[in-house]
Amino acid sequence: MKRALFWLVTSLAVALAGLPAGAAQLKPTKARPAPELNLPRLDGGGVNLAELRGRVVLVNFWAVWCPPCRKEMPSMERLSRMLADRPFTILASNAGESAEQIRPFLAEVPLSFPILLDQESARMKAWRVFVLPTSFLVDKQGQIRYSLSGHIEWDAPEAVGIIEKLLAE
């Protein structure tokens, strides 16, 4: 079953990699409580999404082997720096890879936001993620408000505008 899921996710990720950058869009969703996300951080410690109430949180599910995931990470870093003084957090939950698999990528693309380790992909399953990358914008009350399957430039005006709207609520 794990092998079938891996190939399904890999096939969909490769298919999405060929889409133009603007092909994927943040989609508003009916507000619903975000599933649990309580995972260890790559750099030690842990993160619990429930403890981030009062902040807008971008939850991103990704993997090193996924080309669109790798492509969007620099824009996520720029977004993180752009909103550093605001109640905004990015959580990048790695899907099923070990710290040893992730660290070489981070040597190439340094990231300041938390990288979470979901080595069994249990949180990915709980969030019903079937394509990588998949992202969710969680509002200050812990409700999922937007979702995205595929990659975008997170620091593009459209994405920043949606995040600013959530920050203003």
> What is the overall mean pLDDT for the chain?
89
**pLDDT by residue (tens digit) across 43-55?**
999 999 999 999 9
pLDDT for 100 equals 96
pLDDT for 113 equals 97
Per-residue confidence band for 11, with pLDDT thresholds at 50, 70 and 90: very low
Per-residue confidence band for 16, with pLDDT thresholds at 50, 70 and 90: very low
Per-residue confidence band for 22, with pLDDT thresholds at 50, 70 and 90: very low
pLDDT for 35 equals 97
pLDDT higher than threshold 70 for residue 80: yes
Q: How far apart are CA 34 and CA 22, in angstroms?
A: 26
Which distant-in-sequence residues (6+ apart) come within 8 Å of 149 by Cβ? 16, 24, 130, 131, 133, 134
Once rounded to an integer, what is the mean pLDDT over residues 102-127? 95
Q: Which residue has the higher pLDDT, 23 or 143?
A: 143
pLDDT for 156 equals 97
**Is the Cβ–Cβ distance between 155 and 75 less than 8 Å?**
yes
For residue 55, give Cα distances in angstroms to 76, 90, 98, 103, 164: 17, 10, 28, 27, 12
Half-sphere CA count of 125, side-chain side, radius 13 A: 10
121: left (phi over 0), alpha (psi -120 to 50) or beta: left
pLDDT higher than threshold 50 for residue 14: no
Which distant-in-sequence residues (6+ apart) come within 8 Å of 128 by Cβ? none
pLDDT higher than threshold 60 for residue 85: yes
Task: Kindly report the backbone phi and psi dihedral angles of residue 110, in degrees, each rounded to the nearest multiple of 5, phi listed first.
Answer: -65, 135
pLDDT higher than threshold 60 for residue 102: yes
- Spell out the domains of the chain, with CATH numbers in brackets: 2-18+25-168 (3.40.30.10)
Per-residue confidence band for 21, with pLDDT thresholds at 50, 70 and 90: very low
pLDDT for 15 equals 42
